[in-house]
A and B are shown apart, each in its own frame.
Chain A
Amino acid sequence: MVPVSIKLGLRAFLGVSRTAAVSNEAGGKHDPSTYRELANKPAEAGGVRIVPVACNNDCGARCPLKVRIENGRITSISGDDSPDLTHQLQLRACLRGRAMRSRVSDPNRLKYPMKRVGERGEGKFKRISWDEAVDTLAMNLKRTLDGYGPGAVFIHHGSGDLGALNGVAAAQRLMNLLGGYLGYYNSYTSACLNYTAPFITGRRDTNSYQTLRHSKLIILNGFNPAETIFEANSNCYLSQAKEAGARVIVIDPRMSETAATFGDEWLPLKPTTDTALFLAMAHVMIAENLHDQAFLDQYCLGFDEDHMPEGVPAGETFKSHVLGFSDGTPKSPEWAAPITGIEADVIRRVAREYATTKPAQLIQGLGPQRHAYGEESVRAGIVLACMTGNLGLLGGGWGGGEGSRSMGIDVGSLPTGMNPVKATIPVFLWTDAIVRGTELGASDGVKDGPLKSNIKFIFNIAGNTLVNQHADLNRTVRILRDDQLVEFIVVSDQFLTPSAKFADLLLPADHSLERNDIGFAWSGEKYIVFGNKVLDPPGEGKNEYWWLSRLAEKLGFGQEFTEGKTREDWLMQIVIDAQKADPEFPSYEELSRTGYYRKLFQDHVAFEKEIREPAQNPFQTPSGKIEIFSKALYDMNHAEIPGIPKYIAAWEGPEDPLRKIYPLQCIGPHCKRRTNSTHDENAWMEEVDPARMWISVMDAVARGIVEGDKVKVFNRRGALKIRAHVTRRIRPGVISIPQGGWYTPDRDGVCQRGCVNILTSQRPTPLAHGNAQHTILVEVRRA
């Protein structure tokens, strides 16, 4: 079943003369005409410009690009051409940035303001003028504010085109002037990680990628930079680490591209069982006395009975749980083997290796925390890093997710002001805030509630979470179709995305190549990019600041909103402020010319200060220690929120009886061709990486599925169609469908483009109220 895609053409050699060919270059008769010269008409004198632009897609990086413009059109895109140095690698853009021209020049770009003429969601629109668009918007917003108050307005999660002056921030700024809006916390990216890490270590912190080259052992738990391509150089750093001799173990149900390329060992565990694996590794370390007791004694709370907070009965420690004192079940490798699908001997060997190799770095990707009990995997990961004494050590440590904005260069963005509406919801519950917002309480994660109104008005700017990226699309769409619930939806986007189809008012947005903007990475590299405007938006496309300014004016807050500044003025102000804070920060003109400002990076070791000088730098937890046992969580007295990290069998996990009907676990990993759902429309991306579901040979054979077959994937929530890739690189019993395909239902509601969220559940995780979008049970059959 090796997918030999190179045409071997051996038959071509049968009977073909092997006499040596003669180089026929003589006389210049084949003076090679270059493809590029043939393809592009020679530019007129002075007609060629090479201009720095920015890729502002929402991965963790923002990549500098250079566009070559000939006679007013882009003829090629190149990357960073600064010296490529070991200590300061070029910021090389990935395929998505390199394919920017195919996106920006797509004839399907939205060009004119439009209003809905059919049923909501039907996708039928009529062109209107910008005047009418702003009037409609003003009228509906005013009606909402008058009727329901500002808490009825929701500015949705939208990260499709993020610059310093992005539309979401501008909308927040306007709404704050108008009395506020319903805010949210969390993200779809890292809800469990961000919410949970502070309970243990006081704050979330990760190493910088550059520290990888100091590691002797690297354990990647669902961490897949080769496909998320979260950042320009993470794969380069992994490769450097390997060259420096690091061994890499990858824990992932799929042999991801990361596992295939960099992994020395692949542990194909069952999705949702990461915590069981970690507990079993902890068991081995304790049973064989391999754990770093001195580290635990000095820095941690809750490992054993000698280090517990007041007022907690005996038997609640991590050690007690792992050894089975409290529940009679030792969390041994033999216990974990049937749960995780990893052999006990392998667990034992990996645990020993981790405990005896220093420095060893454990990096958890964001996939494991996007599960039913994602909180627990985050907590268990930190505990292992403590038990091995690796936290705070160069080349050691624990990384939850990838990179951090705090490591970058601090520049400002459009000031949004203060939101007078204090109530916030966990973002994943926004559909619930439509149907029962006023009934939501603290147990639903509402902070500073209750909500005074259900959501009645939605700004959806540069976002596809209104439909595509949210869970359980059939439920989502049912809610959105009812215009008695949400009364008005305004969408600003570059394309008619599945979310844009649900607009009442649809506005054409500009692209980062069509405006000046600053982009900042939150990956860990220290730089900002400046993107120049090199094109005009197609048709009447506008930046959101433009129409929000007009809306503000119409509502009587024009001056307050703009402060008399154009978008460009704000941008210049950001640069001037940055120059005040950092004397080396370049001028606006210089930034525009060079395209980015970068500083030499220093290795960032997470929690280094807290470990090196604990007396001066206690962890920002109630006890000042790393809280392996959290009294705050214990006191919640919630079966799914234990005081110490525990393995809780997931609903729709491998132990759910529902597997009798839907026997396959489905995960929805990020793929290289899209940044979330951005670029799904990009024709070049479709060429290099068409949507495919991975299914194991065993599961495929059992269903009569062969490579390339169109299959139907379904559960009780919905169904989709996609082509199958039959591979040995995925655990039997598991399939994977790359997230981000655009929801394209047929008449029966079956998605034709493989949008995994038609299958996902809206059931939130217990503590963070985050999205568990990788926890799904499904069945597959040939379509």
Chain B
Amino acid sequence: MQVPGTQVAFFVDSTKCTNCKTCEIACKDFNSPDDSRRIRRVHSFEGGEFPHVFAYNISMSCNHCEDPICVEHCPTEAYTKRARDGIVVHNPQRCIGCRYCIWLCPYGAPQFDPVEGKVRKCNLCVEELDGGNAPVCVAACPTRAIEIGSLADIASRHGATASIRDLPPADLTRPSCRYKVRKEALHAPAR
């Protein structure tokens, strides 16, 4: 899907991410304080064999994919990929809670709350962005590991990748998110 404007993307420096969960809580405080959802989550992975063990953390919300499968298949068109910045926005007013997107998204971005009966996901804090502020997770990260920028710029950074050992293959939805990871996390074992 071509975005006429500049595709906005996350850059997460996993080599600085301590799995501290501050992004999860800051996001929750802003976006889902009254329900069980945590729209941004930090996933922790480990590999190797004792004592030569490695571990790394991936903070992830919605990747605002270039091929957003949620946009493609939502029966009520609750998802929009904004033309100007490629942000995939979910409109809860149109959501009927069918959870098809949850089944489709390889990253677990949409989350369902049984009380509300709807799905929600990261809208990249569009209200903050439109007001000239950083998304909440970016402003909150204690190690400054999360940034946003244009996908073109972020993808060209040294070491930036979306192909990570424990994540789904990036060519499925072409996520607008790049990570810097330790070298062990790059190696993709045969699935």
Residues of A near any B CB (own CB < 8 A): 2-10, 12-13, 16-25, 30, 32-39, 76-79, 81, 84, 92-95, 98-99, 101-102, 226-227, 229, 232-233, 235-236, 239, 242, 255, 257-258, 260-262, 266, 268, 672-673, 684, 687-689, 696-698, 727-729, 731-732
Contact of A25 among B21, B55, B80 (CB under 8 A): B80
Are B166 and A2 in contact (CB-based, < 8 A)? yes
Are A261 and B166 in contact (CB-based, < 8 A)? no
How many inter-chain residue pairs (CB < 8 Å) link A and B? Answer: 217
Overall SS of chain A's interface: loop
The minimal Cβ–Cβ distance linking A276 to chain B, given in whole angstroms, is 17
The minimal Cβ–Cβ distance linking B80 to chain A, given in whole angstroms, is 4
Determine the chain A residues whose CB is within 8 A of the CB of B92 once the complex forms.
33, 35, 38
Contact of B140 among A24, A39, A92, A688 (CB under 8 A): A92
The minimal Cβ–Cβ distance linking B184 to chain A, given in whole angstroms, is 11
| Closest Cβ neighbor of B56 among chain A residues | A260
A688 to B46, CA, bound (A): 18
- Which of B16, B20, B72, B73 neighbours the largest number of chain A CB atoms within 10 Å of its CB? B20
A78 to B82, CA, bound (A): 27
The minimal Cβ–Cβ distance linking A141 to chain B, given in whole angstroms, is 41
Are A261 and B106 in contact (CB-based, < 8 A)? no
Binary contact readout B102-145 vs A (1 if CB under 8 angstroms, 0 otherwise): 01111110000000000010010011000000001001111110
Determine the chain A residues whose CB is within 8 A of the CB of B83 once the complex forms.
23, 25
Are A76 and B29 in contact (CB-based, < 8 A)? yes
A/B interface sample: 28 pairs, CB < 8 A = A4-B45, A6-B106, A7-B107, A9-B104, A9-B108, A12-B69, A12-B106, A17-B72, A23-B3, A24-B77, A24-B80, A25-B80, A37-B127, A38-B92, A39-B34, A76-B30, A95-B21, A99-B25, A99-B29, A235-B20, A239-B16, A258-B18, A260-B54, A672-B20, A696-B50, A727-B46, A728-B46, A729-B55
| Closest Cβ neighbor of A11 among chain B residues | B103
Determine the chain B residues whose CB is within 8 A of the CB of A728 once the complex forms.
46, 48-50, 53
Tell me whether B94 is interfacial, beta carbon within 8 Å.
yes
11 further A-B contacts with Cβ under 8 Å, apart from A3-B44, A21-B81, are: A9-B105, A13-B106, A23-B3, A32-B90, A78-B136, A95-B21, A235-B20, A235-B142, A236-B143, A727-B46, A728-B49
Are B53 and A3 in contact (CB-based, < 8 A)? no
Residues from 13 to 28 in B contacting A, C-beta threshold 8 Å = 15-22, 24-26, 28
Contact of B29 among A34, A77, A236, A261 (CB under 8 A): A77
A25 to B104, CA, bound (A): 21
Are A7 and B106 in contact (CB-based, < 8 A)? yes
The minimal Cβ–Cβ distance linking A250 to chain B, given in whole angstroms, is 12
Known contacts A21-B1, A34-B127; A79 and B140 CB within 8 A of each other: yes
Determine the chain B residues whose CB is within 8 A of the CB of A13 once the complex forms.
69, 106, 172
Are A12 and B104 in contact (CB-based, < 8 A)? yes
Binary contact readout B84-110 vs A (1 if CB under 8 angstroms, 0 otherwise): 000001111110000000011111100
The minimal Cβ–Cβ distance linking B41 to chain A, given in whole angstroms, is 8
Determine the chain A residues whose CB is within 8 A of the CB of B168 once the complex forms.
6, 8-10
